[in-house]
Structure 1
Amino acid sequence: MSDTEKDRIFQLHAHHTGVLNIQSQLEVHNRQDLARAYTPGVAFLSQEIAKNPRLKRQYTLSGKLIVLITDGSAVLGLGNLGPAAGLPVIEGKALLYKDLAKVNALPLALDQVPVDEAVTTIKNISQTFAGIHLEDIAAPRCFEIETKLSQALSIPVYHDDQEGTAIVVLAGLLNAVQVVGKELTQAHIVINGVGASGYATARLLHAIGVQHLTLVDIHGVITPDDRRYNRYQRQLAQELHTAPAQKGQTLTDVIAHQDIFIGLSDQNVLQPADVQQMNKQPIIFALANPVPEIAPAKAVQAGAAVVATGSSKYPNQVNNVLVFPGLFKGLLQSSLEQVDYGLQLLVAQKLAQLTAQPDAKHIIADVFDPRVVAAVSQAVAQYAQKGK
């Protein structure tokens, strides 16, 4: 990106002091308006809500407001930049919630406190919200925070880096394997980068029946006995029956005879020679941002049949924005409280179906496709109806 364009970005955000504002739903022009919108009228609401706290969802903003929470410990692909630096990301996502799905979202930065303290803080403010969207929180903290909040609260708790990524990756894969004529559950898949996104993606793929998964991170293949990895990673490796002998093997060591590479890691870690070692018509999802694990042109030159990235600069943008606006719109309308594997699969299927005839350069809908939010929110409603 040019310096001129960077300057324009800073000027735009400075001019508006961010990208969000608060607008009132009622106008107050006289004493009668004041009495209805504020005192003494709100006293009647307070008395009724005291008798039945659930009425707050009907009579206050809490019925349509979600909160976007970050501690800035894993901002985009930039690392631990701190809570304040995480604010531009969640503010931008709040804007997308509103513009794409008419969902109200409030950005909130949380200090990097111990897990239990973070959970307690979020629980203590949860009465204000209809749902919790966690963002840019590093693993394994994010796993613990999401699990504890989901158990403690009766509103949806969703981590976009986990569930959002897993859903959109699966949606893209469902169509990519059609293009190359392979069966997803039988494909050999290597996931490079098993933080929040990679872990959740592996979990979802395993849950839907994928048989051959290899997990690679900074120290090489994750094995059940490798104490350099956290307990969540080791447990998943155990469930995948990863052989202890693979401990420490690098991506290059295990890339041969793989059908699919999913990168949720760092720029330029996959080489053309690696792609050439894969099975015929390999699928490359190089999703690191802002620079992918391999440049798409290089991947195609090396023999890749389908290439996706997380960037809008290339075809096949596999990005969470395809998921979260419509997902929470559906959650608010349906009163579902969990984003479980069944819901993730259905949303992924509905997203994939928006591309009726996938080809190498068209495996997933465009982020501005007006059908996306409706398809995702309707999938949530359908899933909720099944559960009744």
Structure 2
Amino acid sequence: MTTDSHAHLDEDPAFALHRGGKLNVRSSVQVRDHDDLALAYTPGVARVCGAIADNSELVDTYTWKSGVVAVVTDGSAVLGLGDIGPEASLPVMEGKSLLFTEFAGINSVPIALSCREVDDIVETVARMAPSFGGINLEDISAPRCFEIEQRLRERLDIPVFHDDQHGTAIVALAALRNAARVTGRSLGDLRAVVSGAGASGIAVTKMLVAGGIGDIAVADSKGLIYAGRGGLTPAKDELAEISNKSGLTGSIETALAGADVFIGLSAGEVSEEIVATMADNAIICAMANPNPEVHPDVARKYASVVATGRSDFPNQINNVLAFPGVFKGALEVRAADITESMKMAAANALADLVGDDLAPDYIIPSSFDTRVVPAVAEAVAQQARAEGVARS
């Protein structure tokens, strides 16, 4: 069937926008005559290749490597769509690459892999890593995503960042820090409950613990996670050791009674009756898309601050506030890694941008706030230098 036979789909503006894909590769130099050709390709290119062969560090100066990120997926956990496979995930990866370019001026290449085993993905990414300055892992299902990221971080000397985990965590921490402040409290005063123990739920919890939250309990499909609960995966077992200091057991509904914060990362609906049992001055961050765990109209009846993952309500917790600036800062200093402290620096920079304009409906900057990427990038670069992972 030819492409033209699908023309009727273009009646939908989303299909019309995606026709032919959302990306192009454009040259950064002109080839106008034989002299240009001799410099850009043979014989001039041989001199550059020889120099890089003698000194591999020159590759960052004389190729595009230092300014390009690979967006890598296997299509196993695409947000809101689930396991749709590599081909169907490609529009999302193109979109992520588009955001790298539009928001941070970073070149990016979407790569959808037709393999699923951890060893295969690690080996594939590691073999193509010489072409890239950084690796953004995307939409790879848990728990495999944890091992894949860890092994690639250990093996490669370029930044490796699983955005579903750490991008979400950075923005969530920034938002919650400001939500606490606007309600007259600090992060340490809050007891939070997280719905969802997948990649983002675990990463958000870890980052909030590192940020100093008072207490935080996480619920999966079987109820609250606590030390000693049977059948936990290694990732959840580790989570049990650092969270739920109160030792709560049972259902998420039990934990939400009197809780200060609800963080939704599971798409599991929470009823109004349960929301009503939360503490006064509650904070609700219901981030499932397109349907938040608690609809904002319901949440506002009981909460002082409401945030979602949607763009049509205030306080959108959107990863685009994090990953462009994080990679920009890391690439600018040729960081060998993206450390926990660099992520924390990004969250603090993002929170600080709100400043004196802080309000219940403004706890996080807009995705289109032009201050965001420079501020996050600068904070990440400074921290990379302070930790000794910067190489320039």
Task: Give distance in 2, aligned partners of 1:152 and 1:59.
Answer: 24
Identity in percent: 43
| 2:331 matched residue in structure 1 | 332
| 2:373 matched residue in structure 1 | 373
| 1:285 matched residue in structure 2 | 285
The TM-score, its normalising length taken from structure 2, stands at 0.93
> Once the 2 structures are TM-superposed, how far is the Cα of residue 169 of structure 1 from its aligned partner?
0.2
- The 5 A counterparts of 1:85-100 are 85-100=88-103
The amino acid of 2:309's aligned partner reads G
Question: C-alpha offsets along residues 26-85 of structure 1, whole Å, 9 cap, x if unaligned?
Answer: 111221111100001111112111112221111112121110001111101221111112
Question: C-alpha offsets along residues 253-290 of structure 1, whole Å, 9 cap, x if unaligned?
Answer: 211111000001105x1121112111111000000011
- The 5 A counterparts of 1:172-251 are 172-240=175-243, 246=249, 249-251=250-252
- The 5 A counterparts of 1:1-388 are 7-14=12-19, 17-240=20-243, 246=249, 249-266=250-267, 269-301=269-301, 303-356=302-355, 357-388=357-388
CA contact (8 A) 1:190 1:260 kept: yes
Q: Which moved more, 1:82-91 or 1:278-287?
A: 82-91
Q: Which 5+ residue runs of structure 1 have no aligned equivalent?
A: none
CA contact (8 A) 1:191 1:202 kept: yes
Secondary structure of the residue aligned to 1:189 is: strand
Q: Which 5+ residue runs of structure 2 have no aligned equivalent?
A: 1-7
Question: C-alpha offsets along residues 72-114 of structure 1, whole Å, 9 cap, x if unaligned?
Answer: 1110122111111211111111111111111001000012421
CA contact (8 A) 1:334 1:380 kept: no
Question: C-alpha offsets along residues 354-379 of structure 1, whole Å, 9 cap, x if unaligned?
Answer: 11231111111011011111111111
Task: Give distance in 2, aligned partners of 1:220 and 1:4.
Answer: 43
CA contact (8 A) 2:188 2:212 kept: yes
CA contact (8 A) 1:197 1:264 kept: yes
The amino acid of 1:263's aligned partner reads G
Alpha-carbon spacing, 1:4–1:297, altered in 2? closer, same or farther (3 Å): farther
The amino acid of 2:87's aligned partner reads A
CA contact (8 A) 1:150 1:157 kept: yes
Question: C-alpha offsets along residues 107-148 of structure 1, whole Å, 9 cap, x if unaligned?
Answer: 000124210111011000000000000011111111000000
> Once the 2 structures are TM-superposed, how far is the Cα of residue 340 of structure 1 from its aligned partner?
2.1
Task: Give distance in 2, aligned partners of 1:370 and 1:308.
Answer: 21
CA contact (8 A) 2:209 2:242 kept: no
> Once the 2 structures are TM-superposed, how far is the Cα of residue 243 of structure 1 from its aligned partner?
7.2
Secondary structure of the residue aligned to 1:305 is: strand
The amino acid of 1:278's aligned partner reads M
Question: C-alpha offsets along residues 314-369 of structure 1, whole Å, 9 cap, x if unaligned?
Answer: 01001001011111111110122222221122111111111123111111101101
> How many residues are treated as equivalent by the alignment?
380
CA contact (8 A) 1:171 1:348 kept: yes
| 2:5 matched residue in structure 1 | none
The amino acid of 2:179's aligned partner reads A
Task: Give distance in 2, aligned partners of 1:193 and 1:26.
Answer: 48
